[in-house]
């Protein structure tokens, strides 16, 4: 016994490099199984005879299931859906009807039946289903909602209203009445909504009852359906309350222009012209204390709103003109100005057919505070009127004021080119490229080269590109050192590498096109 025990004793107790777990054993047992997994056959139908046999077999299966479990609604639904998938709509409808004979109180069955009719666009059949279901189950609110929703989606507002009326005869809960009211409000039928509120009060008592079930944000809407006298009293009270709030805000901080905006908007909605004008006069009297543009931006919009009110709401042209004039006098143009107010004043004069007044305003703007927007708008107006000579004079003033504007030079040349004055356009481009400093020279040179190419002057275009390269390429110049040695240093005549690269690409492209 001792010898056998000594022979069975484990001499090496170190763990094996690969530990075998239960998962390994199960995986190996599964791999050793050679049983084949048989999949159901993929049956393909080749002709109408096979299709008929397949349908007959499936119908027999469903009929057998129904015979064993007649009260199982799921089987009926699957049977009807299968018939629908086979485009056998008459048979599917017959299945639904048989299912309803089994249990007509199941409203889910009615919903699925109606969805089947709507999904396949059988509108009249769907109406018949909904009409039957709301007659048999009038206490199920979901059926009424679905019926009304279908009619509203079809645009049959009168039909939906009639269904709501039938529903109200069954005296639904408050939510049903509220849905009817919201329906009328969606189509701006205020009087009808007021009648519904009255009918609700007769059923549930005074207005406190309806206030209880209205959401908090909707409770004040009930006042819109009060008689006219009470509604006006309510609106006046609400208006007075808002006035007190805004008065308190502007009294605490007269420079709070956002509060003035809200206050004037409130008075404009009230419709009292005298109050609106008085309020605007009070608002514009609060001039910013510092003459910095950032503090005047909101203040100028008070003047703009005042002028627009006089023009659009009050329809008083003289007062509008006076507002614009006073605003332009109030702005310190020697320090800053606003192109928007000049342009709005000029556009107002154009709407009043006073072209002389509009030109005078824009001319004063150019003389006092020239701005890019003012020049562009002035040129646009004159070009629309067909006054080319005036456009040329304005462009001359524009370029005298800002000769480094590549956009202005390009637009001027483009206008001349559109008029057929190619020589004028070429002369303008020549003056432009000779300017010592340009903000964006690349588009200007490109427009000049494109002009020559469009005119068929390829030699001119080639010379232009050579001029551009001469201006932009780096050249080497000799440098003499103190010991008499000679070295070379690259100097950049025009350090704009983008122009050089663009010119090189243009030249390469043009040379290849000419060779072809």
Query: Which residue in the block uniquely carries the two structure tokens 């050249």?
Result: 475
DSSP string for residues in 255-279: T-HHHHHHHHHHHHHHT-HHHHHHH
Per-residue pLDDT of 37-90, as tens digits, reads 555 566 677 788 888 888 898 899 999 888 888 888 899 999 999 999 999 999
User: Which of 164-173, 235-244, 364-373, 487-496 shows the lowest per-residue confidence on average (mean pLDDT)?
Assistant: 487-496
Local confidence band at 495 (pLDDT 50, 70, 90 cut-offs): very low
- Sign of the Cα torsion 475, 480, 484, 488 reads negative
Mean per-residue pLDDT of the chain: 80
Rounded to whole angstroms, the Cα distance separating 88 from 95 reads 11
End-to-end CA separation in angstroms for the chain: 108
Torsion of CA 157, 160, 164, 166, to 10 degrees: 120
Question: Residue 492: beta bridge partners?
Answer: 474
Rounded to whole angstroms, the Cα distance separating 378 from 467 reads 35
Rounded to whole angstroms, the Cα distance separating 472 from 433 reads 13
Question: Residue 489: beta bridge partners?
Answer: 477
169-192 average pLDDT score: 88
Query: Which residue in the block uniquely carries the two structure tokens 């939906």?
Result: 160
Question: Residue 479: beta bridge partners?
Answer: 487
Return the closest-CA partner of residue 135 out of 170, 181, 175, 94. 170
Local confidence band at 115 (pLDDT 50, 70, 90 cut-offs): very high
Query: Which residue in the block uniquely carries the two structure tokens 């080639």?
Result: 462
Whether the per-residue pLDDT at 491 is higher than 50: the answer is no
Residues 6+ apart with CB under 8 A from 218: none
pLDDT recorded at residue 124:
93
Per-residue pLDDT of 387-432, as tens digits, reads 888 888 888 888 888 888 888 888 888 888 888 888 888 888 888 8
pLDDT recorded at residue 23:
82
Percent of the residues in the chain that have a pLDDT greater than 90, as a whole number = 16
């Amino acid at each position: 016994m001792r010898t056998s025990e000594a022979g069975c004793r484990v001499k090496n107790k170190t763990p094996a490099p690969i530990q075998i777990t239960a998962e390994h054993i199960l995986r190996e047992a599964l791999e050793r199984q050679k049983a084949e997994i048989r999949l159901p056959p993929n049956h393909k139908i080749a002709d109408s005879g096979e299709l008929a046999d397949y349908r007959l077999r499936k119908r027999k299966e469903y009929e057998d299931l129904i015979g064993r479990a007649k009260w199982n609604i799921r089987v009926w639904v699957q049977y009807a859906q299968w018939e629908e998938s086979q485009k056998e709509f008459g048979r599917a409808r017959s299945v639904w009807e048989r299912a309803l004979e089994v249990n007509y109180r199941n409203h889910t069955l009615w919903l699925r039946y109606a969805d089947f009719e709507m999904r396949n666009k059988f509108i009249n059949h769907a109406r018949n289903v909904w009409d039957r279901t709301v007659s048999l189950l009038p206490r199920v609110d979901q059926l009424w909602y679905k019926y009304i929703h279908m009619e509203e989606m079809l645009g049959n507002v009168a039909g939906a209203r009639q269904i709501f009326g039938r529903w109200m005869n069954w005296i639904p809960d408050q939510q049903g009445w509220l849905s009817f009211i919201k329906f009328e409000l969606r189509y701006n039928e205020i009087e009808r909504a007021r009648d519904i509120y009255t009918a609700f009060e007769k059923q549930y008592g005074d207005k406190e009852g309806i206030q209880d079930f209205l959401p908090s944000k909707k409770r004040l809407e009930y006042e819109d359906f009060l008689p006219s006298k009470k509604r006006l009293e309510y609106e006046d009270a609400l208006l007075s309350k808002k006035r007190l709030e805004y008065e308190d805000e502007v009294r605490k901080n007269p420079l709070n222009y956002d509060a003035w905006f809200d206050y004037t908007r409130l008075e404009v909605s009230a419709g009292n012209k005298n109050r609106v004008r008085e309020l605007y006069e009070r608002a514009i009297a609060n001039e910013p204390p510092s003459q910095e543009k950032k503090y005047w931006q909101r203040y100028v919009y008070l003047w703009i709103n005042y002028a627009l009110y006089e023009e659009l709401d009050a329809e008083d042209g003289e007062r509008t003109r006076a507002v614009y004039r006073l605003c332009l006098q109030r702005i310190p143009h020697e320090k800053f100005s606003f192109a928007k107010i000049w342009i709005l004043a000029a556009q107002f004069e154009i709407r009043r057919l006073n072209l002389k007044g509009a030109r005078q305003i824009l001319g004063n703007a150019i003389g006092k505070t020239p701005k890019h927007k003012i020049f562009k708008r002035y040129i646009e107006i004159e070009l629309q009127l067909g006054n080319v000579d005036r456009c040329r004079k304005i462009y001359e003033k524009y370029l005298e004021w800002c000769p480094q504007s590549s956009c202005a030079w390009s637009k001027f040349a483009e206008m001349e080119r559109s008029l057929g004055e190619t020589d004028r356009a070429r002369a303008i481009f020549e003056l432009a490229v000779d300017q010592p400093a340009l903000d964006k020279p690349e588009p200007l040179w490109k427009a000049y080269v494109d002009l020559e190419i469009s005119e068929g002057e390829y030699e001119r275009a080639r010379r232009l590109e050579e001029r551009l390269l001469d201006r932009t390429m780096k050249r080497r110049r000799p440098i003499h050192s103190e010991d008499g040695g000679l070295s070379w240093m690259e100097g950049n005549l025009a350090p704009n590498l983008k122009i050089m690269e663009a010119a090189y690409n243009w030249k390469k492209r043009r040379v290849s096109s000419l060779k072809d």
